[in-house]
Amino acid sequence: MHRHPVSTGPPRFDVADVVRAHRHELERQHPLGPAEARVLSAIALCRTPALGGHREVCRSCGHESAAYNSCRNRHCPKCQALAQERWIASRAERLLPVRHFHVVFTLPSELRTLCRSAPRAMYDALFEVATATLLELAMSRWHALPGITAVLHTWTRELHLHPHLHLLVTAGGLHLWKDRWVHRKRFLFRLEMMAQVYRAKMLEALRALHREGVFQRHPDSQDPEAFGRRLAAAGRHKWVVYTKEPFRRADFVLRYLGRYTHRVAISNSRLLDVTPAAVTFRTRGTDAVTLPPVEFLRRFVQHVLPDGLHKIRHYGLYAGANAETRWVRARELLSADEKAPAQAAVALSEQVSPSWQERLLALTGRDVRTCPLCGGVMDKLALARAPPAAA
C-alpha cells in the first residue's frame, strides 16, 4: 500500500487498454467462463470503430471528430454514468416521500468462496435472506410493510471478492390491517437482532442449497463433513449488518442510491498508472495498490455477474406486485400526512427529463453539441462501421 495524490481532470488511463494488452495471458493462466469472456470483449471494443458511430462536423469552422458507440455492458467502466442518471430519473416517480435508512448486509469471509462455485445461487440467497430479515422484523415489530430497494456489490476497493448488499429501507411502512402509515424516526431495528436473524436465515438457506447439490463444483464437495465445518466456522462469530441515520428528503435518497446502483468494480478515474508490467490504482483517499496486469484482470473478472442476474431488486411496497395497490395507498397517506418529511421544492419525477447530451454535460462538463474550437454547432453525420478486427 502506498500513497498517491488524487488525480483531477479526465481519466488518463483505461481498463480497456489493460484488457487488450493482457487478456491472452490472463486466459492462459486463468481460463475464463463465457460471461467473463463476453465482458472483456465488450470492454475492449467499447467506443472503437468496431462498434460503429458517427462523425461530428462544425457548421462554422468545419472541425471534424469521430464519436464511436459504447458497448453498454453493465460491467464496462465507460458505460455506467449515463445509465445511472437514466435509472435515477426512472425511479423518481416510484420513491415514497418518506425518510429512508441505508442498510448494508455483508457475507462472512468463510462463505465467499461459495460465490465462486455457485454465484447465481449465492447472490439470489443473499438478496432473499437480507430482505426477508427486514420484512419479517418490520411486520412483527411494526405490523407494517416497508419499501426496500437492494443493490448487490461484490468487491472491495482492492478488488477482492466481498459480496454485500446496499439497501434503502423506508423509515416505516403501511400498516398491515389499519389504514395508516407507521413512522420510524430514529432507528430501524437493533443491529444485533438484525445480524442474528440474518445469520440464522442464511445458514439455513445454505444448508438447503447444499442438500440440492448446488455446490458440487466447490472443493468442499469432496469431503462430506467439510461443508458443515465451513458453516460452523461462519456461525461462531458475529455477522456484519450496518445502518445509518435516515435521509430526510427523497431526492437525496435517489442521489445517494445512484452512487451504488451502476457502480462497477473499478472506474477509469481510479487508475493512476498503467505500464506493461504494472497497474496502479487508487483504493481509498490517497492510498493506492500496484498489481501485475494479469492479477489486476483476474481480480476484475471475478466480479462479472452471471448473465441475467438482476443486481438491483425491489421488495415490499417497492415490489412490482404492489405498484398498483399498496404502494398507491401508501403514497396517498404520506402525501396527506403532516409528519411526513418535507420534500424538495420540485420533485424529481416532475422535472423535465434531460437528453443524454445534457446528462453528459452535467457529468463531465463536455458539451458534444458545441465545437471545441470555435463554439459553433456540431452536426452529426453517418460514419462507416469498421470490422471487429479494427479494434
Q: Would you list the DSSP string of 12-81? A: S--HHHHHHHHHHHHHHHSPPPHHHHHHHHHHHHTTSGGG-EEEEEETTT--EEEEEPP---TT-TTSHH
Alpha helices in the chain (DSSP H): 15-29, 34-45, 80-91, 112-117, 119-137, 191-211, 226-235, 250-261, 293-301, 326-335, 356-364
pLDDT of residue 339: 60
Q: What is the pLDDT of residues 34-89, one digit of tens each?
A: 999 999 999 999 988 888 877 788 878 877 777 778 888 888 888 766 666 666 66
pLDDT band at 391 (very low <50, low <70, confident <90, very high): very low
Task: Report how far Cα 332 is from the mean position of its chain's Cα atoms.
Answer: 30
What b-and-e string marks burial along 75-84, b requiring 16 or more CB atoms within 10 Å of the CB? Answer: bbbbbbebeb
The answer to whether the beta carbons of residues 54 and 67 sit under 8 Å apart is yes
Which residue is listed with cell 445480524? 195
Average pLDDT over residues 353-369: 54
* pLDDT tops 80 at residue 215: yes
Q: Give the separation between CA 341 and CA 352, rounded to whole angstroms.
A: 24
Average pLDDT over residues 109-130: 94
pLDDT of residue 250: 62
Secondary structure element (H or E) that encloses residue 161, with its range? strand 161-170
* pLDDT tops 50 at residue 351: no
* pLDDT tops 90 at residue 201: yes
Least confident of 51-65, 211-225, 290-304: 51-65
Q: Give the separation between CA 147 and CA 174, rounded to whole angstroms.
A: 9
pLDDT of residue 64: 77
The answer to whether the beta carbons of residues 4 and 272 sit under 8 Å apart is yes
pLDDT of residue 348: 41
Q: Give the separation between CA 314 and CA 294, rounded to whole angstroms.
A: 36
Q: Give the separation between CA 252 and CA 13, rounded to whole angstroms.
A: 31
Q: What is the pLDDT of residues 151-160, one digit of tens each?
A: 999 999 999 9
The DSSP letter of residue 370 is B
Q: What is the pLDDT of residues 298-318, one digit of tens each?
A: 999 999 999 999 999 999 999
- For 85, half-sphere exposure in the C-beta direction (CA atoms, 13 angstrom radius) is 15
pLDDT band at 19 (very low <50, low <70, confident <90, very high): very high
Least confident of 1-15, 34-48, 129-143, 215-229: 1-15
CA-CA distances (angstroms) from residue 255 to 87, 155, 169, 261, 354? 10, 21, 15, 10, 16
pLDDT band at 251 (very low <50, low <70, confident <90, very high): low
pLDDT band at 352 (very low <50, low <70, confident <90, very high): very low
The answer to whether the beta carbons of residues 346 and 187 sit under 8 Å apart is no
Average pLDDT over residues 310-334: 93
Closest CA to 51 of 35, 65, 72, 34: 72
Torsion of CA 57, 60, 62, 66, to 10 degrees: -20
* pLDDT tops 70 at residue 116: yes
Q: In what order do the strands lie in the sheet with 100-106?
A: 241-243, 100-106, 161-170, 147-155, 312-316
Average pLDDT over residues 90-104: 84
Over the chain, what is the mean pLDDT?
83
pLDDT of residue 87: 65
* pLDDT tops 80 at residue 252: no
Please state the pTM of the whole predicted model: 0.83
Which residue is listed with cell 447465481? 120
* pLDDT tops 60 at residue 29: yes
Give percent above pLDDT 70 in the chain: 79
The answer to whether the beta carbons of residues 28 and 293 sit under 8 Å apart is no
pLDDT of residue 344: 41
> Which range in 197-211, 222-236, 254-268 is most confidently predicted, on average pLDDT?
197-211
Task: Report how far Cα 25 is from the mean position of its chain's Cα atoms.
Answer: 28
Least confident of 82-96, 125-139, 205-219, 374-388: 374-388
pLDDT of residue 346: 37
